Structure 1
């Protein structure tokens, strides 16, 4: 079975289980933390895929990465994934869970990348209001600092990308020369 189907099925089943338990939001935060840790620490993926690491240690490591220690539903979900030999897919499962949660709650993920945290609260509120009106959904807004874009901004809304960065513009000029 392909990775996308496995991840989607597990994420959907975990979401439904968490919903029954009334813990879907707690799991959402845990899955966000888990996905973030996989992105920040590539050694985490290597550790989870290490056949010499016991399932119990994998479970402990994943629960620690979620940063939610006491949630029974989260622990149970991670145990099921690891015990079923699906630890390899856990990063994708976490991302698919996030997507499932946002979709069911009517949330739209918007991410603004800039070179500095110069976005004031008023501008942020206006952008969120504008996006909310255009998407007919509640906006989950994140800002990211990235000096590599040199200037300008990159706005990502779900699968849409508006790249108004200086880096992209310089690359376009470079390609034309």
Structure 2
């Protein structure tokens, strides 16, 4: 069966269940953390794919990845148990991403990523978040990343749009223009 179909079915069922219980906000926080953990720690995915590891151990790993030392919600616990009993743990990251996407559509939340060469102060970050939210008519989640390799300026990703005003990109463009111009001369 297709990964996208399986993950979307589970995510849709989970969002409907969460709405019935009115716990979608709590689930969103848990799934954000779980998604981040699955992305940042590839060994976690390897452990979940291990057929020798018992379901209780996998459940414990997932709960720890989602809330750390805290306690998971009942809806999250029941859902993870369902996923593990049906041996769908290999789809868990895709289910997380599908759930997060559905939740954001439901709550009108846009996502943005600001990449700068130096750290941005909180006032500027908040102003960017508010401006982008006004343009999209949505609440914004803004992630800031410091990447010195862009040398200056910024790169701003918002939903599926990228505004690249970095010095590194501008230098590449100028270099490419010189190369193209020199080819015509020779």
**What is the TM-score when the length of structure 1 is the normalising length?**
0.89
Larger radius of gyration: 2
Residue by residue, what CA displacement relative to the aligned partner does 1:117-136 show, whole Å, maximum 9, x if unpaired?
2x223322332222122111
Which 5+ residue runs of structure 1 have no aligned equivalent?
none
Instruction: Please give the alpha-carbon distance, in whole angstroms, between the structure 2 residues aligned to 1:75 and 1:171.
Output: 50
Instruction: Please give the alpha-carbon distance, in whole angstroms, between the structure 2 residues aligned to 1:148 and 1:79.
Output: 43
Instruction: Please give the alpha-carbon distance, in whole angstroms, between the structure 2 residues aligned to 1:42 and 1:147.
Output: 25
Instruction: Please give the alpha-carbon distance, in whole angstroms, between the structure 1 residues aligned to 2:125 and 2:77.
Output: 36
Instruction: Please give the alpha-carbon distance, in whole angstroms, between the structure 2 residues aligned to 1:4 and 1:173.
Output: 41
Give the equivalent residue in structure 2 for 1:150: 151
Give the equivalent residue in structure 1 for 2:184: none
How many residues are paired up?
176
Q: Does residue 55 in structure 1 map to residue 61 in structure 2?
A: no
- Across the aligned residues of Structure 1 and Structure 2, the Cα RMSD in angstroms comes to 1.8
Give the equivalent residue in structure 1 for 2:37: 37
**What is the TM-score when the length of structure 2 is the normalising length?**
0.85
Shift of 1:175: 5.3
Q: Contact 2:63–2:72 at 8 Å: present in 1 too?
A: no
Instruction: Please give the alpha-carbon distance, in whole angstroms, between the structure 1 residues aligned to 2:49 and 2:166.
Output: 37
Give the equivalent residue in structure 2 for 1:104: 106
Give the equivalent residue in structure 1 for 2:76: 74
Give the equivalent residue in structure 2 for 1:168: 169
